Structure 1
Amino acid sequence: MNGTRHEEFREYVAERGTVLLRAATQLTSDRAEAEDLLQAALAKTYLAWDRIEDPAAVDGYVRRAMVNTQISWWRRRKLDVYPTDQLPDRPVDDHTGRSEMRDALGRALRHLPERQRLAVMLRYYEDMSEREIAEALGVSVGTVKSTVSRGMSKLRDLMAEPSSFGF
């Protein structure tokens, strides 16, 4: 591709890239996948740039390349799933349960008194030792132990009865 045709392609992508990305997003419903799809279609368009004589036809060419590429990816993905009569040895990991638990735990933490919440978060989220927490908070190690213990007890109670604080 000569220099001027290369520049024409760059100008086209700069001018129409946003519109084409929007079309790719509609095809994929996912921003990252849409970017990949558009990049693949633009690569195909770049290779055919010298053969496209009508500048008004470029958008159609790119869109057709996106549709064809998306169909190809969809078919390839479809072949990756094989139905079976046998159940797996272990259940499939369902991330929604963990996400819901994390959300519930976050709400329960907000119901702890500030000092308990801070001590529990430093101990279990930041993995700090009791001595490090004591130094950070300016209290004794014994105070940290009792504060974390009371905080964990209250968290257990809150998580056992979620309705008690609006879950």
Structure 2
Amino acid sequence: MNTSNTPTQRTSRLKFLLVVCIFVAPIIAAALLNFSGWQPSGKAYGEPILPQRNFEQEHVQVRLADGRTWAWRDTSPRMTLIAMAGPGCAAHCMDVLTKMAAARITLNNNMSRLRLLYVGQPPANAAGNGMENYWALGSDVDGRLDTYRPTTPDSVSAVLVESDGTALSRYPVGFDPSGLRKDLQRIIR
């Protein structure tokens, strides 16, 4: 039995080691980057909510106009976009709410994967503008969402909530509705 390495065997071993290195090198690089503290950053328009809150676990109650309680966990996995208006929701506020509803429509076939919830006193002309056609109207029973509610008159802020009730990101007063639309298109596929 000949135990010497032939050139063919050495070439085969080198090819095998090269293939192993091709698959192992990215794993090692990712581990090194992770241990060094580097995290990839994407361009998101919303601000992350830190520390994260889970409205389902915290038992945040939103009472809908028909008396039912809002279910953070729906029968099918759907995200919730909560809009909260500042005092005296008027023309600017309604314009932003309309653009938020339009952002949902631009999701096309995935539009059903996003629920729109308006929490607070509805604008005076909500019925005339057809707001109830797009938004579920409710009120924060215990005031536990007040930290996200704007204090600026005729303004709107928003919170994007995962289907399990986890608050993902916040859109403070003055946010760009087209940026919200881009975030929704990236998240909901």
Higher strand share: 2
TM-score, structure 1 normalization: 0.24
Rg larger in structure: 1
Bigger helix fraction: 1
Larger relative CO (CA 8 A, sep 6+): 1 or 2? 2
TM-score (norm. length: structure 2): 0.22
